[in-house]
Chain A
Amino acid sequence: MPSTITLDEVTVSVSVPGGDLTLLKPTSLVLDQPRIALIGSNGSGKSTLARLINGLIEPTTGRVTVDGLDTVDDGAAVRRRVGFVFTNPDAQLVMPTCIEDIALSLRRSIKTKKTRLAMAQDVLDRIGLGEKADTTVHALSGGQKQMLALAGVLATDPAILVADEPTTLLDLRNTQLIADQLFGLDQQLILVTHDLDLAARCDRALVVDDAAIAFDGEPAEAIDHYRRLAGVP
């Protein structure tokens, strides 16, 4: 059963020379479908909305909760429930080799090194990178890096996965591989994407425009709305 993510009159703004810049206008939402897409133009506020969900960004006003846990007051507990995959896996892969990066995710839950490495190897085998265990992450292809970054997050078994444009830097084949992986998960998926085919596979889609929710509903209608906003037939 999907988790319930609630935004209650949330705004986000940052101070810039000459005043405040609004990244998200007052927004109230309840997200409880298994797969939700966030679409919109570059700089519209999609990533801000996504990053609020696991506390990477704190609301300036209002409150964000995940299954009742406040993302500010219960940040560590929220991050245990919400995994986050970034656009660029290079920033997300923080250990020198593949197996060590997966093992890093497991350090908090598994204290025995032998068990931790065995589990990390198992995770790598499942995503088809078993033979790359001792390879430096630097030497992987873009698709392999993104798959490894995804595996590193899933290794901790989060209830929700937020993926911020995970296929933007990938070619067609790797986009397909990552998409198949994402849509095959049991986890609730919040997908920020410019790939409208992926958005169409979700249960609900939100169009973000000018730091606000411009449309919220069926993916097909959301995509039409987004096309009209972008002036693309």
Chain B
Amino acid sequence: MSHVLLGSYRPGTTLLHRIPAGPKLGLLAAFGVATVAVPGMWSALGFLIASIALVAWVRMPLRSTLRALRPFLLVVVAVTAFQVWQQGWSTAVHVVAGLLASVIAALVFTATTPVDSMLDAITRGLQPFRRLGVNPERVALAFSLVLRAIPGILEIAHETRAAAKGRGLERNPRALLVPMAIRTVARAYDTGAALHARGIGDD
């Protein structure tokens, strides 16, 4: 399947696929910190190019990966406008390129890491916090639910848009946002019931 869904795993044999989830999560965190900590517009652009190179390396289809990033366009435009207004072009490029580089790197991480491995890594990593009342299994499950929720919410958005269009209301924000919000909450409620029914979280 060439279509890229945010958060979906794509099997492969590259080095990134083979690095265990824990160290890979550490590398992702370090990459994210570096995009903020290393100053200058050119360094941020370098991080962005590096993240795109990672996409090519793990053989994610570039065009559909960029298409999958379209929902971030609004954020990019808003952040750019704000930064240009407050700090000028150089800072705007630094912030936005760094932000995009981090998002793309996170996309590469989820595309090369099976969720089961991610759950194990998060569960192991959070064990020391158990004495503080943190339940590592539940935190790990919350991560995986977020990943699963992305395509689910996109599907609800498409269906809601089609329904509004069918009634000639595609330009009415209320006809789009209200049913989408209600259906998203209903889906979350149903998912909670399903988790409860499967006994997940009982232990």
Contacts of B202 in A (CB 8 A): 75-76, 79
Q: CB-nearest residue of chain A relative to B8?
A: A136
A73-108 CB contacts (< 8 Å) to partner B: 75-76, 79-80, 83-84, 86, 88, 90-97, 99-100, 103-105, 107-108
Contacts of A193 in B (CB 8 A): none
Query: Any chain B CB within 8 A of the CB of A227?
Result: no
Query: Any chain A CB within 8 A of the CB of B198?
Result: yes
Contacts of B190 in A (CB 8 A): 86, 88, 91-92
Contacts of B182 in A (CB 8 A): none
Contacts of B198 in A (CB 8 A): 79, 83-84, 92, 104-105, 152-153, 156
Knowing A104-B200, A116-B116, A138-B152, the reply to whether A94 touches B193 (Cβ < 8 A) is no
Query: Any chain A CB within 8 A of the CB of B147?
Result: yes
B1-23 CB contacts (< 8 Å) to partner A: 1, 5, 7-9, 11
Measured in the bound complex, the distance between the Cα atoms of B200 and A108 in whole Å is 8
14 A-B pairs in the complex with CB atoms less than 8 angstroms apart = A56-B196, A79-B202, A83-B198, A86-B193, A90-B187, A91-B190, A91-B193, A94-B145, A94-B200, A95-B148, A96-B147, A97-B8, A100-B116, A105-B198
Q: CB-nearest residue of chain A relative to B115?
A: A100
Knowing A90-B187, A108-B203, the reply to whether A113 touches B120 (Cβ < 8 A) is yes
A95-147 CB contacts (< 8 Å) to partner B: 95-97, 99-100, 103-105, 107-108, 113, 116-117, 134-139
Q: Within the complex, what minimum Cβ distance (angstroms) separates B17 from chain A? A: 12
Q: Within the complex, what minimum Cβ distance (angstroms) separates B116 from chain A? A: 5
Query: Any chain B CB within 8 A of the CB of A54?
Result: yes
Query: Any chain A CB within 8 A of the CB of B144?
Result: yes
Contacts of B199 in A (CB 8 A): 76, 79-80, 108, 156
Encode contact with A along B18-33: 1 for CB under 8 Å, 0 otherwise.
0000000000000000
Chain B residues at the A interface, C-beta cutoff of 8 Å: 1, 5, 7-9, 11, 114-117, 119-120, 144-145, 147-148, 151-152, 155, 187, 190-191, 193-200, 202-203
Contacts of A137 in B (CB 8 A): 148
Measured in the bound complex, the distance between the Cα atoms of B5 and A137 in whole Å is 11
Question: Chain B contact residues: over half helix, strand or loop, or mixed?
Answer: helix
Looking at chain A, what size class is its interface with the partner chain?
Answer: 35 or more
Q: CB-nearest residue of chain A relative to B151?
A: A138
Q: Within the complex, what minimum Cβ distance (angstroms) separates B196 from chain A? A: 6
B193 and A97 within 8 A (CB):
no
Knowing A104-B200, A136-B151, the reply to whether A92 touches B194 (Cβ < 8 A) is yes
B116 and A86 within 8 A (CB):
no
Q: CB-nearest residue of chain A relative to B10?
A: A134
Measured in the bound complex, the distance between the Cα atoms of B155 and A97 in whole Å is 16
A94 and B1 within 8 A (CB):
no
Contacts of B8 in A (CB 8 A): 96-97, 136, 138
Contacts of A99 in B (CB 8 A): 116
Measured in the bound complex, the distance between the Cα atoms of B84 and A6 in whole Å is 68
B144 and A96 within 8 A (CB):
yes
Contacts of A93 in B (CB 8 A): 148
Knowing A91-B187, A100-B116, the reply to whether A134 touches B11 (Cβ < 8 A) is yes
Contacts of B152 in A (CB 8 A): 90, 138
B197 and A94 within 8 A (CB):
no
Contacts of A103 in B (CB 8 A): 116
